[in-house]
Amino acid sequence: MQQATQGAWPPEEFRLQLQQWRRQVERPLPWKEEKDPYRIWVSEIILQQTRVEQGLPYFQRFIAAFPDLFALASAPEEQVFKLWEGLGYYSRARNMLRCARFLATENAGRFPDSYEGLLALPGIGPYTAAALASFAFALPHAVVDGNVERVLSRIWGIQTPANTASGKKQLQELGQSLLDPQAPGPHNQSMMDFGALHCTPRRPLCLSCPFQERCHALLNGQVDRLPVKWKKTAKTPRFFHYLLFRFQDQTWIRQRTEKDIWIQLYEFPLLETRSVDLAQEALLCQAPFQELLAHAHPQMLPPSKIYRQSLSHQIIHARFWEVPLRSEPGPDQTSGLIAVPGAGLRQYAFPRIIRWYLDEKSLSLDLF
């Protein structure tokens, strides 16, 4: 096995090669060269768990709706969730609101200009604190996101799984040792860009790589194996049956109060079962919607196709049942539910799997 010799590789030399690479490649993004901590923070939170192409329109809509921290701090939760709809991980939006309100009332709307101060804010972990500290305040903190993890793991041949605490610590220390103290923001941006554009997860551009003579992964045939990832345990399947009770142009929804990732979002009345297959007769005798189901038209439509969403620990399998009602239900039968007329459903923030269904329905039938 051919080993790389990074021990004799001064950080200055690595940085110089990285800078040379950066001069040839430009990756225009609206938050690049940004110094406003608020905009940097919004972009960083949106881009957690989200690809740049997907996050970009969200960033633009978010900044248009809330151009500064005070605008966000005074926004109703409903409006923030609606703008976030489709991004998933709604705890990020909740924490952003908490953070904005805290800064608006306790810190005159300003972000702290120290890494430790940033780290103490709601929803800000080591990664976001380092990004804000280096991009907004030019403080010497290395940003190690998934792209940077890959670059470091491959060039330095890190065999510790990158998704474990010890792997993260090792990669953070390595990233910090390479940081350019004079220009931490541009250095961090270059590292992230190099991972996103050149040392990509699949088919990295090794033939034109400035580090090909040093890269452990390339020299040792480990490009496909690095970074090492600890295998996660199998995800739990869950089976949801959403009931779309409809009378004339009204549909009934409810707001979730359960303390899970969908808290405060809206959904159709839901039955969770042990299987995705459920006969109509079985559905009709399920609690807790007996009162409403008693109004169901006998000629129900078959359920929708199965929609699947993979979350970090579970896989959701969902079916949607349209349940036309023969007569308008009274308040007793719809307690805890909200009647929404026609296109009004668009105003509510739903979990992503429901939005997929609604988007398909409005495209094909223009029902919603």
The rounded distance, in Å, linking the Cα atoms of 327 and 30 is 52
Q: Which of 40, 215, 316, 349 binds ligand SF4 (CB under 6 A)?
A: 215
Q: How many CB atoms lie within 10 A of CB 226?
A: 24
Q: Which range in 13-21, 202-210, 315-323, 353-361 contacts ligand SF4 by CB under 6 A?
A: 202-210
Of the pair 224, 281, the CB lying nearest ligand SF4 is at: 224
CB of 17 to ligand SF4, least distance (A): 10
**Total number of residues that touch ligand SF4 (CB under 6 A):** 14
Per CB under 6 A, 205 contacts ligand SF4: yes
Which amino acid makes up residue 96?
M
* 44 catalytically annotated: yes
Phi, psi of 273 (to 5 degrees): -125, 180
Q: Which range in 75-83, 120-128, 216-224, 254-262 contacts ligand SF4 by CB under 6 A?
A: 216-224
Of the pair 160, 286, the CB lying nearest ligand SF4 is at: 160
Of the pair 154, 241, the CB lying nearest ligand SF4 is at: 154
37, 64 Cβ separation under 8 angstroms:
no
Q: Which of 52, 65, 119, 206 binds ligand SF4 (CB under 6 A)?
A: 206
Of the pair 194, 289, the CB lying nearest ligand SF4 is at: 194
Q: Which range in 5-13, 212-220, 269-277, 297-305 contacts ligand SF4 by CB under 6 A?
A: 212-220
Report long-range pairs for 337-342 (Cβ below 8 Å, ≥24 apart).
337/252, 337/253, 337/254, 337/269, 338/252, 338/253, 338/254, 338/255, 338/266, 339/250, 339/251, 339/252, 340/250, 340/251, 340/252, 340/253, 341/249, 341/250, 342/249, 342/368
Q: Which of 198, 241, 319, 352 binds ligand SF4 (CB under 6 A)?
A: 198
Per CB under 6 A, 154 contacts ligand SF4: yes
Map the footprint of ligand SF4 across residues 217-256, applying CB under 6 A. Answer: 217-218, 223
Cα–Cα separations (whole angstroms), residue 90 to 95, 129, 269: 9, 20, 20
CB of 173 to ligand SF4, least distance (A): 19
Of the pair 178, 337, the CB lying nearest ligand SF4 is at: 178
Of the pair 172, 222, the CB lying nearest ligand SF4 is at: 222
CB of 208 to ligand SF4, least distance (A): 8
Per CB under 6 A, 199 contacts ligand SF4: yes
222, 216 Cβ separation under 8 angstroms:
yes
Per CB under 6 A, 211 contacts ligand SF4: yes
Phi, psi of 329 (to 5 degrees): -75, 150
Per CB under 6 A, 212 contacts ligand SF4: yes
Alpha helices, DSSP H only, in the chain?
A: 11-24, 37-47, 52-65, 69-73, 77-84, 91-106, 115-119, 126-137, 146-156, 165-178, 184-193, 216-219, 280-284, 290-293, 352-364
Active-site hit among 34, 44, 291, 360: 44
The rounded distance, in Å, linking the Cα atoms of 151 and 149 is 6
Beta strands at 250-255 and 270-273: parallel, antiparallel or unpaired? unpaired
Residues forming the active site: 44
Q: Which residues are near ligand SF4 by CB under 6 A?
A: 154-155, 198-199, 204-206, 209, 211-212, 215, 217-218, 223
